[in-house]
């Protein structure tokens, strides 16, 4: 009898302006996520104070873990090897699970300031950044990186991947699109296979995985045994859990609804009132791809911006402290 394949490792993606510490805390309560990566911490020309690291990654106050116990790796973004190394060393004093380096952000503002995916035009600089950070970080802590297939095209993807590996990174996440592709489908999972065949470190596939079927095809085409999930798991928080079940089942709305309510109540004291409803709408907009109930909630508050009114319409009777659905691996 053929042994079933082990479940893939699942990483939760960093997504600036969407998958922040509030939402990753909520999603990891559903279960199935092995590790998270923080939103990028922008490093320019100065040593950041501890309060900046703690504001963007408050899990540092709790052993670098979410409430569900899922480890969170801190991600740095920048182009100055020495300054990134100094900030990585300072960050390590706060006890992160590890350090991740961003060579994948496609945001024009970031790229204009020589950060993210634009660096994939400069493999030597990519190598220098990873090497400097690896030297600055204690040997027992992992240093990983995330990249796209390239900036304008894929011509230097192998060169960049090898630069990251030879500089000392222990793992590489590859988003299967270039910067110019943005987030437009498809993601080119087969190109990730070329990178995986060119390096010896573990490669994690990322991009356009919205369902269990997508995940299985991505694993098959990329040849990877690990996935990083972003918008797909925001739209279906049970996706990682479903990938761990042979029957491919995740969670349904009655289980998820208390977690949505908990998210709303948790962001209340920390998000400015004028932005609070927008954060919830942003999540509901993705959830409605999977859940009819989320579509109803979206329709109910689509034009409402007053937090008190949103709460009255959706969460007046909702529990505030849901139990975790399952333990995270």
Copy the structure tokens of residue 29: 């309560």
How is residue 277 written in tokens?
A: 């409803």
Nearest by Cα to 205 from 224, 221, 191, 220: 224
CA distance 104 to 214: 21
Phi/psi for 85 (5° steps) reads: -65, -45
Sequence-separated (6 or more) residues with CB below 8 Å from residue 173: 11, 104, 144, 145, 146, 147, 203, 204, 206, 228
- Helix, strand and coil content of the chain, in percent to the nearest 5, comes to 45, 15, 40
How far is 10 from 7, CA to CA, in rounded Å? 9
Length of the chain: 329
Which residues belong to the active site? 105
Tokens 């230097």, located at residue? 156
In angstroms, rounded to a whole number, what is the distance separating the alpha carbons of residues 191 and 154? 9
Nearest CA-CA partner of 115 in 156, 154, 161, 84 = 84
Torsional sign, CA 195, 164, 41, 64: positive
d(CA 112, CA 174): 22
In the Cβ-directed half-sphere of 132, how many Cα atoms lie within 13 Å? 19
Residue with token string 């790796």: 73
């Amino acid at each position: 009898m053929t042994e079933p394949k082990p479940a893939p490792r699942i990483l939760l993606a960093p997504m600036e302006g969407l998958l922040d510490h509030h939402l990753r805390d909520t999603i990891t309560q559903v279960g199935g996520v092995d590790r998270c990566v923080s939103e990028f911490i922008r490093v320019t020309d100065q040593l950041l104070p501890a309060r900046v690291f703690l504001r963007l990654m408050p899990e540092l106050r709790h052993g670098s873990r979410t409430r569900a116990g899922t480890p969170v790796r801190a991600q740095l973004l920048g182009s100055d090897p020495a300054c990134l190394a100094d900030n990585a060393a300072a960050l390590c004093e706060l006890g992160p699970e590890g350090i991740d380096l961003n060579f994948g952000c496609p945001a024009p503002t970031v790229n204009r300031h020589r950060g993210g995916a634009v660096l994939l035009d400069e493999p030597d600089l990519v190598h220098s950044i990873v090497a400097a950070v690896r030297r600055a970080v204690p040997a027992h802590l992992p240093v990983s990186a995330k990249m796209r297939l390239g900036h304008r095209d894929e011509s230097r993807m192998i060169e960049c991947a090898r630069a990251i590996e030879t500089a000392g990174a222990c793992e590489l996440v590859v988003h299967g699109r270039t910067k110019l592709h943005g987030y437009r489908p498809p993601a080119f999972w087969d190109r990730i296979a070329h990178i995986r065949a060119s390096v010896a470190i573990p490669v994690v596939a990322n991009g356009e995985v919205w369902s269990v079927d997508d995940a299985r095809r991505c694993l098959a085409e990329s040849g990877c045994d690990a996935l990083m999930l972003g918008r797909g798991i925001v739209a279906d928080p049970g996706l990682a859990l479903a990938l761990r079940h042979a029957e491919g089942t995740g969670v349904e709305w009655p289980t998820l609804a208390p977690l949505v309510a908990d998210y709303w109540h948790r962001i209340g004291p920390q998000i400015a009132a004028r932005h609070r409803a927008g954060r919830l709408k942003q999540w509901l907009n993705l959830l409605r791809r999977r859940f009819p109930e989320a579509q109803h909630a979206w329709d109910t508050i689509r034009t409402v911006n007053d937090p008190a009114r949103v709460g009255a319409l959706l969460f007046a009777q909702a529990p505030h402290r849901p139990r975790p659905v399952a333990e995270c691996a």
